[in-house]
Chains A and B, each alone.
Chain A
């Protein structure tokens, strides 16, 4: 469950910038191809933030779609996993989005 250590890393990254100010919201962006499950992060968030200035903060996770572009036929399409296969049969696919694993912003009181 790497989401736990990633969520703990998230808490420290936030504290690094906010110190002891109470954090009211945390905004993340987690793509479906990032290898991290948004639901698992939500699950870990309460545990990882307990006893810190992030406790009780609203966690908002933006989950962008995975998008790919085929280098053979130039078609653009949705990617739900890392099996990069264009409907035309080519596996030469460029990932345009979906690998994001970002701490976007926080709100402090």
Chain B
């Protein structure tokens, strides 16, 4: 990560453009910062800075410098270790709200059905839902290729060694996708129920998918993920007759961790239960479009979505 704005490069992140061609991930102009001790830092940069450096001490050791014995000095910081990510997430949130763009962060274990659900959603809703996708994977563009086949714009972010998307990666992904005002962005996070839970992206809502082949005790095992969820989807309901998965028990366990998350059961393969998912999207998208933005969609989504099936 860059020291001033958190631009990540430590894990070899790569971002593709809309045509699927690899872009240098951190293109942009060189700019520099001068810190409170008069040192200058220069780095490449492609987006606005969230952090101002004016909060640092101009007159000596005003905020939190204490002189300790033995020639060392203690600098009190008391800041969250995720402060930089959270600041960038807040910037993303403002950017999205300003354009009336809804961004849904889709998270699950590997193979729970994120891409299948997205492909089916984009295919079935077609032109009625103006949507693009940001695909996060450690390697390959296989999922992005599946999305691209639906005709919707897609940006691939390969995180390399990284096991989650962070707010800076979303920032760069949004720059590359350049979503229209009033449109919807689906973010497929790296398949992993642990790390993505800790990194706020500034998204409109977090959607967590658990599939019935994984066991109904996932909420207990990965509480951070389920605590963060706005919507929990139980996928692969078509397999319920064959596996030992108790939907009510799963919901009960989720409720222990997160009393407010919404809950849906569906099958991305057969289409069972998808009406409720489209209904949720409809509510989430029209809610976000209405009050805050001056550039709300011209065609209301309500009605259009329910006609899709």
Contact = CB atoms under 8 A, between A and B. Distances in A.
Interface in B1-56: 1-4, 6, 8, 10-11, 35, 37, 39, 56
Q: Which residue, of A5, A8, A18, A101, has the highest number of chain B Cβ atoms within 10 A? A: A5
A107 B74 contact: yes
Question: Chain A interface mostly helix, strand, loop or mixed?
Answer: mixed
Contacts of B75: 17-18, 105-108
Contacts of A15: 3
Given A9-B84, A85-B256, A36 B77 contact: no
Contacts, number: 111
B81 A12 contact: no
Nearest to B226: A82
Contacts of A25: 72
B82 interface: yes
A99 to B, nearest CB: 10
A24 interface: yes
Interface string B236-272: 0000000000000000000111010000000000000
B256 A101 contact: no
Given A2-B163, A15-B3, A24-B72, A103 B78 contact: yes
Nearest to A18: B75
Contacts of A9: 1, 6, 81-82, 84-85
A6 B223 contact: no
Interface residues on A, range: 35 or more
A5 B72 contact: no
A25 to B, nearest CB: 8
A6 B56 contact: no
A59 interface: no
A12 B81 CA distance: 10
Interface in A50-99: 81-85, 91
B82 A6 contact: yes
B71 interface: yes
A103 B78 CA distance: 5
B74 A106 contact: yes
A12 B77 contact: no
A16 interface: yes
B298 interface: no
Contact of A83 (B8, B74, B223): B223
Contact of A1 (B72, B82, B163): B163
B74 A5 contact: no
A12 B82 contact: no
A109 B136 CA distance: 41
Q: Which residue, of A8, A12, A25, has the highest number of chain B Cβ atoms within 10 A? A: A12
B77 A83 contact: no
Interface of B: 1-4, 6, 8, 10-11, 35, 37, 39, 56, 64, 68, 71-85, 161-164, 166, 194-195, 197-199, 220, 223-224, 227, 255-257, 259
Interface of A: 1-2, 4-6, 8-10, 12-20, 24-25, 28, 35-36, 81-85, 91, 101-109
15 contacts: A2-B163, A4-B11, A9-B6, A12-B1, A12-B2, A16-B3, A18-B75, A19-B39, A35-B198, A36-B198, A101-B81, A104-B77, A105-B78, A107-B74, A108-B75
